[in-house]
Every structure is written in C-alpha cells, then in structure tokens.
Amino acid sequence: MESGMDLIHGSGIQMVQYLQTSYKDSQNLFLFISFAADLRNTFFVFFPIWFYLCESVGIKLIWVAVIGDWLNLIFKWILFGQRPYWWVHETAFYSNTSVPVVEQFPVTCETGPGSPSGHAMGSAGVYYVMVTAVLTLLLQKQQQQFKKWCTHSLLWMGFWGVQLCVCLSRIFLAAHFPHQVIAGVISGMAVAEAFNHIQLFYKASLKQYACTTAFLFLFALGFYLLLKVFGVDLLWSVEKAKRWCVNAEWIHIDTTPFAGLLRNLGTLFGLGLALNSQLYADNCKGKQGQRLSFKLSCIVFSIIVLHLFDSFKPPAKIELLFYFLSFCKSAAVPLTAVAIIPYCLFHITRTHDKKIL
C-alpha cells in the first residue's frame, strides 16, 4: 500500500515540477486562481449577489459551502493525505536519487492534511450550484431544443474550465497532488447534487440553525478528542508545515483545521440569525424588498461593506481568542448582507422619499 502511494505521489511531484518549470511566467495567474477559489469569495461575493437575485440559491450556496468544507475536514482527518511541499523531503522514495526541487509560494504552506483538496471541493460544489441554478432559470424560458443544448453545453464547459484551472493552480503551488484535487472535485459535486434533493434547510428556524451548528462542531471536536485518546494526533500536519515551509511568515493560523471549521460554522449560524430576524422580515419581504433597484443596491453595498469587513484580521497571538473572533466575524457576514444592509437602505430611501414629498 505504501509503495503504491509512493508511486502516485512520485508521479504527482513530476507534474508539480513540470507545471512549475513550463509555466513559471504564469505564477501570478495561478496565485490569483487559488485566491479566487477560496471559500471566502463565496461568502463575501457570490452569496450577496445570488441572495438578492434568487434567494434560494444564495441560501443553498452557504449550506453547500459549509457542509462541504466540514466533510472535507473529516475526510482529511481520516485519509491523512500528504502535501507535495513536505512529502518530497520526508519520503524514502528518492533515497537512491536526488530529491526533486519543489518551489514554494506564499499560499503553499497550508497546515491541514492534503486529501481531498479543499479548494477543489469548495469550488466544485459552489460552481455546481451556480451552474445548475442558471440552467434552471434560463431553460425555463427557452423553447427551442437547439438553444437549450447550446446553453447547457456552454455552461458545463465553463464549469469544467474553472475546475481545471483550480486543480492546475493547486498542483502548481505544490499544495496538492493530482489525485487529491480530482477527489476534491468529485466530492464537491456530490455534496452539491445531494442538496438538490434536500428542501428542509430553506425554511429552517433559528433553533435548527443553532442545533446544526452545535452538532457539526461537537462531532468534529469529539472525533478529534476520541482519536487523541487512542494516540492519534490529528494536528500532525501542522508540525510538518512548520518544519518544511521555507518561510515561517507563510504559515497562517487561519489555515489550521479548527480555524476553518469555526469560520464556516460562524457563517452558517449568522445566516440562521439573519433569516430569522425581524430586520429581514420587515425589509426584504415587503414591497420595497421586491424592487429590482433595491436588490441591486443591496448587492452593491453588501459587497463594498463586506470587502471592508474582510480587511479586519483577528489577532492571532492567542489561539482561542482568534477562533472566537473568527466565528463572530463570520457570523456577521450574512447578518450584515441579509439584515443590516437592507434595513439601512430601506430607512435611507424612506427618509429621502419623505423629503421629496
């Protein structure tokens, strides 16, 4: 088994080297793709856009992203996947030859296990939701079979083009092996497809959101503690990252397993708070909330405010404080986009209308 994985990893290193040598001038492009595929952009950009264009799709995006990333964490803890940038230094596979040179970048040194790829899984899940949503909206209006086929083909070609770019980016950056990004894409699509057959989360109460958040956290924490009792340290990858990353400043606490977990659970809980708030009921469900100009204004202001909000970085010196503030910050994202921004715009426009009268 180990020799078989060594062969898979060895061939993966060859692909990493090929991409790094053949496409060295595309380094900035690969870095941008990796940044764009981060789930932060789902929460800070895609969610507010889709929520006001089609509320159900916006809600589904959050659920697919959060549950997908939670499953990704559990899979990583079970599979103990290596990452190229540290495996190449620790393996005995190159005992009779020179160790290949694998270049590292500022986003290479992620601290979690490598399989499946979180970027690939998140990107596949999120884009699968968006593509299927666009197809549903467009194909309802189109009658000609040929136009339907062209629309269907173009959108899925775009989907696979995005996934290919994300996968190549993660391999180029030496953050993942090829089989890990493939597993991520398949897993992400499976999660998104599963949510196409689940309707309960659209009308979930605040209590259900709170219980779901608590269950996901306690299950992950319990799984971690249970294996720790049996002598299995699920944070083994953090030590490898610290040991083999060429620049200690490239190791960030927000890439650790529990940081990602609490960040995503905060977003889910914040969505529950927002959707069950009186601010949302008063300002998004009334006549004003259905106007296109109001929705477009909410999208623009939400993206601007959330972008400014994202610039706040919780202090990382005290780990528990960082986790708590990350949870609170993430909870504030959907709460701001869904409840606070519409409330502010509603009262601004109402005051403006009164002045005109």
Active site residues: 119, 176
Q: Which two tokens stand for residue 172?
A: 């180029």
**Distance between CA 131 and CA 138 in Å, rounded?**
11
Q: Determine the length of the chain.
A: 357
Beta strands in 95-184 (DSSP E): none
Q: Which two tokens stand for residue 264?
A: 């995503």
Specify whether the backbone of 247 is left (phi greater than 0), alpha (psi in -120 to 50) or beta: beta
The amino acid at residue 299 is I
Q: Give the residue from 313, 321, 326, 333 showing the smallest Cα distance to 272.
A: 333
Residue 261, judged by CB atoms within 10 A of its CB (0-12, 13-18, 19+), counts as buried
Work out the number of other CB atoms within 10 angstroms of the CB of residue 39: 24
Beta carbons of 61 and 47 less than 8 angstroms apart: yes
**Distance between CA 297 and CA 75 in Å, rounded?**
40
